[in-house]
Amino acid sequence: MSDDTALILVPGSVTLDDLRDIYLTDHSVILDRACQPQVEASAQRVAEVAAGDAAVYGINTGFGKLASVRIPPEDVATLQRNLILSHCCGVGDRLPNQVVRLIMAIKLISLGRGASGVRWSLVELLEGMLARGVYPVIPGQGSVGASGDLAPLAHMAAVMMGEGEAEYDGHILPGGEALRAAGLSPIALAAKEGLALINGTQVSTALALAGLFRAWWAGLNALVTGAMSTDAAMGSSAPFHEEIHLLRGQPGQIAAGQALRKLLEGSLIRDSHLDGDERVQDPYCLRCQPQVMGAALDVLRQAGETLQREANAATDNPLVLTDGSIISGGNFHAEPVAFAADMIAMAVSEIGAVTQRRIALLVDPALSFGLPAFLTPKPGLNSGFMIAEVTSAALMSENKQRSHPASVDSTPTSANQEDHVSMACHGARRLWDMTTNLERIVGIEALCAAQGVELRAPLRTSPRLQKAIDIIRQVSPTLQEDRYLAPDLEAAAQLVHTGALIIPVIDVLPSLAIHVNEHMADPLEKFDDGLG
């Protein structure tokens, strides 16, 4: 793709919208050329230090516990190559290409801040790899989220040197071969460049962003299926009254309550029991949806704010400051990302928990206000959604177990030089599986709620919710008699994953609105975690 259609990233001013587009699409990504002079100036300063007599960490010394070992000028390039190869110690399943794209793009943004001391040719190689679809094979395990995501980022850097492995055109190739097939050439790293590539929080941040995007999307789906369950159970819409939520003032709760009201607008099922309803109050999973979902949305917004800042940050070490000094600090410590990932995990767990309770309510004739047991027209002969509810409970419990904070689990590494670490990387990596579980829980609710609404015939649900039911019925027919149900569950989860259920009603759903970062040049607009 030509640069005319590339997404241009302004370091320090990249928005969540930009990052979401990188995650969801494969178009070209380039840095705003206005940052090139500062990048080149910092590279020149590093070159001067590398040729001089003064010892400066990361340029002409060893690393970590070996920082006191001085490296002569003629060995500086070898030092950088050895650094990358020795740090390629990642294990486990490879990260998805869309996450790898985010990693590479966020590294570009960081280098574009002009504090890393790398040559512009290194920036151009990363841009070329993104433009032509050369994706390094990066194992997901091996980072403790401090001193940078060293092992996974080393696998990215190795490909840039012509080592390691990369995917190109659907094939896994040796790194050098993948670059050549794409018309690119490997680079010989100069002073500090290896350290600049691996010393940063980009893997943790990319994984946390992927979790954020998927969690927000699933949360919007859960608002739709939650409204559908409310109608199926003939629940009251009174708890969604606007003034209730304005009196509390929590923005997520206000937005969730408004969405639920709009989704139920025009429902004949709801209208049929507005007067004379014998139930004074519904269970919390129906009545407290604005409070629970709203709190989750607020937490996700707060995490998004942190991750947006981190994606715009210079997080390697040492950094070349504007006065020409090269100072060793600790921006590589991913504690902010670790906390954000833990917040996302808690929100994912809670969205799944309240969703699962609605599923349990719908299949239980003691709670579902006249629906047949397990939502089957002939209970006993048929089990209906009995075990689909059990599956949702299993997924909910798995997510609860995984939601324990990773950030409190520090362990010393590197001969106690790195004696407190963030655990951000595996805290963020778990979000991939957790959001997959959540998509499946919400998908099961979609099936149960649609069945429940149809069992209320001839009464009809709202026009907006009927659109969602019509989409569900395209992949899963009404359950009249027991059938092999696993494909239906997977198809429903895919509807959640792709956003098919919410696209027709996106106009009434909340946006992930992030406040302007004081370090950013341009204000953020509202962000919808959509596909279009």
Enumerate the active-site residues: 57
CB 312 within 8 A of CB 111: no
Cis peptide before 318 (omega within 30 of 0): yes
- Judge whether 469 and 453 are in contact, CB under 8 Å: yes
Rounded to the nearest angstrom, the gap between the alpha carbon of residue 507 and the centroid of all alpha carbons in its chain is 23
Contact assessment for residue 146 and residue 137, using Cβ atoms and an 8 Å cutoff? no
Q: Output the DSSP codes for 172-232.
A: EEEHHHHHHHTT-------TTHHHHHHSSSHHHHHHHHHHHHHHHHHHHHHHHHHHHHHHH
E strand or H helix at 389, and its extent? helix 386-402
List the structure tokens of 187: 């680079």
- Return d(Cα 206, Cα 334) in angstroms, integer: 12
Helix (H, G, I), strand (E, B) or coil at 293: helix
Alpha carbons 37 and 39: distance in angstroms, whole number: 5
Chain centroid, CA 479 distance in Å: 34
Give the residue from 2, 307, 42 showing the smallest Cα distance to 127: 2
* Contact present, 527 and 315 (Cβ < 8 Å): no
CB 231 within 8 A of CB 450: no
Give the whole-angstrom CA distance, residue 308 versus residue 513. Answer: 12
Helices (H), 71-201: 76-87, 97-112, 120-132, 150-160, 175-181, 193-198
